[in-house]
Amino acid sequence: MAGVAALALVGSVASAGAQDLSEHAVKSFMEYAWSLTPQQFSKPDGTVIVIDKTKKDQVLVPLDVAREVIKAGRLSAHAQICDLRDDQIQNHRALMRREEVKKKWTPQQMVYISQLHLTTVMLLTGRIRLVEKQGDKEVVVDEKKEPAQTCTDEQKKKVKELITAYVAASPPVSAIADLYKDKPKAQGAPTATGSVSETAVEKK
């Protein structure tokens, strides 16, 4: 049953824009992402962000924001399937810049936003599976080789065009630097790109 639910959820994202996702589907993605969010996140500069998993409501973001994150994650997943590694990275970074310039999220929420993006990528590329445990669905990372998925030249071109447009419509890197130019150290956004092996997440 859990596997069927996952397939149905993934199918709903793959066949429609994130804005068409039902509230239930968005909340499901958010729950999956929360279950995979670490208690501790180490940034490249050595800063450690601690997340209190007992304060879920203080970390999750509004549904409309989550929809946009899922939409970006869907695009990153297509980039991964089409072997557009650089485009996938640029797409994720553009998403994080969009959210960071809003100056409304805590460091913990920025980690969650990045995790929601990553979770979406993992769902759509077959790196997450659901298991039943004492009547509840539990999300686990599947370390097996990713299932083969095809990407035609036409699809690859379309994905690249969509990401190029998304990045162009996002704040430039300089906008983030300007946010913190008067501060000794930038808050910074998590740098996970949507690839399981490259997340700088440290769990305890």
pLDDT along the chain (204 residues), means of 10: 39 47 89 93 89 95 96 95 95 96 95 96 80 58 62 94 96 81 55 40 36
pLDDT for position 25: 87
pLDDT for position 196: 39
DSSP 196: G
Q: Rounded distance, CA 175 to CA 195, Å?
A: 25
pLDDT for position 150: 82
- Summarised one tens digit per residue, pLDDT across range 113-142 is 999 999 999 988 887 665 655 555 566 666
Dig out the tokens for 185 from the structure: 């150290």
pLDDT for position 87: 97
**Between the CA of residue 118 and those of 50, 98, 99, 115, 175, what are the distances in Å?**
19, 16, 15, 5, 24
Long-range CB contacts (< 8 A, 24+ apart) of 49-54? 49/107, 49/108, 49/111, 50/108, 51/108, 51/111, 51/112, 52/108
Q: Rounded distance, CA 80 to CA 121, Å?
A: 8
pLDDT for position 134: 55
What three-state secondary structure class fits 42?
strand
Among residues 21, 20, 29, the alpha carbon closest in space to that of 124 is found at 29
Residue 6 CA from chain centroid, whole number: 17
pTM metric for this prediction: 0.76
pLDDT for position 176: 81
pLDDT for position 189: 52
pLDDT for position 146: 55
